[in-house]
Amino acid sequence: MSNIRRVAVIGLGSMGGAMASTLHRAGWTVTGFDPSEAARDAAALTGISTTADLKELAGTPYAVLSLPSASVVEATVPTLLAAPGTIAIIDTTTSEPGTSKSMAELAASHDAAFVDAPVSGGRDGAATGSLSAFVGATDSALTAAEPVLEALTGGKYAHIGGPGSGNVVKLLNNVLAAANLVSVGEALGVAKAYGIDPAVAAASISSASGGSKVSDAMYPNWVLSGTHNSGFSLGLMARDAALAIDVARQMGQHPELLAAAASQWQDALAVLGPAADFTEIARTVAPDVTPAGAPDKTSAPDPTSTTDKTSAPDKSPAA
């Protein structure tokens, strides 16, 4: 039994590292991989074995992916399947539905399961095994992946449908969160302009019909405080919002309000850069409500940089 309870965690950034620690505490034998030596060293301090060679993890019974993009998922899965023994690959990356479908087919051809299981709950949820997951999988693949999903979520996962469907709903979740971060910021900016304390306005709204996790927690904890330390990068949220709109258009849908919000995230990305915390969107849509204030547009960072506050490869939705 102990041999079966072996899991590889690919990507030891903010989310992946926390998930690896959760699995370790739950009694799993965990081996982590990340191209970043610093990320591997940080994981090792929590008692996790690490490797700098992904090939060493081929054939591990279970694997959890926490990667920065669908293209990295596509490059990783064949390596993990290169040796027999894989039971299930659980991909927590906010990936693309087409990639998940093709990876599920590839895994099935190796008598293994692949499920897309992008997660929500941020690093705190990852560290406490209380994430929620949007799962796309066949029934048999879900059954194969359940031991790991239970450990990471405490049973808080929803089987959305077949391969790729978890990605679709997670992207919709993130673009809705992205839109809400903009709209709540704009609303609190109006309150501040009228002389109302934004914290009082946010608390009042949060107990009424306009309330949300954004108004109840994200703005008070990370924006109004000026800390902007959620651990999830603006670059990743801007990517997720744009990808959600791309997927919608591929399906012949044209969500105008969500597309407008996604465009505002691209504007913020150009000014703040991908490494900024995702809650710093407030600095562009409502700079008066955060002590951090408006960004200095004269020294805007390069928005094409791949650097962010999570160690690559990583995934994360705090959202």
Q: Could you identify the residue written with the tokens 């979520």?
A: 153
pLDDT classification of 141: cutoffs 50, 70, 90: very high
User: How many CA atoms does the CB half-sphere of 95 hold within 13 Å?
Assistant: 33
Mean pLDDT over 306-316 rounds to 37
Domains in the chain: ranges and CATH: 6-162 (3.40.50.720), 167-299 (1.10.1040.10)
Other beta carbons less than 10 A from residue 252's beta carbon? 6
**What's the whole-number mean pLDDT along residues 138-160?**
97
Contacting residues for 256 by C-beta, under 8 A, at least 6 apart? none
180, 177, 280, 284: which is closest to 225 by C-alpha?
280
Question: ∠ CA 63-305-169 to the nearest 5 degrees?
Answer: 45
Tokens of 308: 């962010």
Distance CA 213, CA 94 (A): 20
Give the pLDDT score at 3. 65
Omega within 30 of 0 (cis) for the link into 61: no
Mean pLDDT of the chain: 92
Question: Cα–Cα distance between 161 and 75 in angstroms, integer?
Answer: 24
Q: How far apart are CA 60 and CA 64, in angstroms?
A: 10
Model pLDDT, residue 98 = 96
- pLDDT of residue 209 exceeding 80: yes
pLDDT over 80 (residue 317): no
pLDDT value at position 300? 54
The mean per-residue pLDDT over the stretch 299-313 comes to 43
pTM of the predicted protein model:
0.88
Largest CA distance in the chain: 65
Is pLDDT of 270 > 60? yes
Question: What percent of the chain is modeled with pLDDT above 90?
Answer: 88
